[in-house]
Amino acid sequence: MIVVKIGGSILSDTLHTSIFDDFLRILRNDKIIIVHGGGNQVTSIATKLGLEQRFVVSPQGIKSRYTDRQTAEAYTMVMSGQVNKSIVTVLLKNGINAVGISGIDGAILRAERKRRLLVINEKGRKMSIEGGYTGKIDRVNNSLINVLLERDFVPVISPIALGEEFEYLNVDGDRAAAHIAGSAQADKVIFLTNVPGLLINGRLIEDLKISDAKRMLPTIGFGMEKKVLACTEALELGVREAIIGDGSRENPVSRLLAHESCTVITGNE
């Protein structure tokens, strides 16, 4: 089983069309779960709705959307609506039996709402602010995913989680993919994005151990920092290999499975 996270950055138009052949080939003898992002699409539509989007940075250097109630609603509409359905339709058009669901459906993703957020303000000082509607994933229920997989459907999951009070919470797509991969005991989790992998001083880091990945986290720029963090989470949850790579190349998934110019993160042993 492999979990493929498709980033919003690559979704718009640059995803290589040969990805469908890749999927069909893999599906002959394996299962695929797709998790997607779509942050830019959320920002664009929320802004059109008159909701100015704000981003905050944690003391660990992780950037996230500040999600008030209205933003949580816009996030859910765009992620589970437009973004999810456009992925499902393009998969169906290419012969892949896709079903779009959100992390809320069948209570796949449960998360603890972050009541307070520790953020770094403009002056570089730590500050505690009202948490809003973001969550930290604490449980994954695979039953709906398994039902779909058994019937040869490809689940396409949007990153929304159910809070303790049954409110919907914005969760990060990369970390959602990591948790779903861990819970499904996937062999691999693959992050398709718009760069070849983790770049340090312009050089692609091809192999990384989890301990080095953790150590490097604070030095990695926004966007990639969450992928590397998600890779470490997936590995800690028992996934054997986490791969970050470019989705715009030909046969992107096969290439990454063959470790061609990408970042592969593995456990310490």
Residue-wise burial string across 254-267, b where 16 or more C-beta atoms lie within 10 A, e elsewhere: bbbbeeeebbbbbe
Pairing of strands 135-140, 109-113: antiparallel
How many whole angstroms separate alpha carbon 186 and alpha carbon 189? 7
Beta carbon of residue 39, minimum distance to Mg ion (angstroms, whole number): 6
Strand ranges across the sheet with 154-158? 98-102, 154-158, 32-36, 2-6, 188-193, 241-246, 263-266, 207-209
Give 8 or 135: the residue with its C-beta nearer to ligand ADP. 8
Beta carbon of residue 37, minimum distance to Mg ion (angstroms, whole number): 5
| Binding partner of 194, given Mg ion, ligand ADP, none, CB within 5-8 angstroms per partner class | ligand ADP
Site track for Mg ion across 211-250, x = CB under 5 A: ------------x---------------------------
Residue 221 near ligand ADP by CB under 6 A: yes
Q: Which of 8, 103, 135, 182 forms a contact with ligand ADP (CB under 6 A)?
A: 8
| Binding partner of 71, given ligand ADP, Mg ion, none, CB within 5-8 angstroms per partner class | none
Give 167 or 260: the residue with its C-beta nearer to ligand ADP. 260
Residue 195 near ligand ADP by CB under 6 A: yes
Residue nearest to Mg ion as judged by C-beta position: 223
Residue 81 near ligand ADP by CB under 6 A: no
Site track for ligand ADP across 35-64, x = CB under 6 A: --x---------------------------
Please provide residue 66's backbone torsions phi and psi, each rounded to the nearest 5 degrees. -80, 120
Beta carbon of residue 84, minimum distance to ligand ADP (angstroms, whole number): 15
Give 148 or 198: the residue with its C-beta nearer to ligand ADP. 198
Of residues 88, 116, 114, the one with CA closest to residue 101: 88
Residue 135 near ligand ADP by CB under 6 A: no
Beta carbon of residue 90, minimum distance to ligand ADP (angstroms, whole number): 17
Q: Which of 134, 193, 232, 248 forms a contact with ligand ADP (CB under 6 A)?
A: 193
| Binding partner of 220, given Mg ion, ligand ADP, none, CB within 5-8 angstroms per partner class | ligand ADP
Torsional sign, CA 102, 107, 108, 112: positive
Binding site for Mg ion (CB under 5 A): 223
Binding site for ligand ADP (CB under 6 A): 7-10, 37, 193-195, 198-199, 220-224
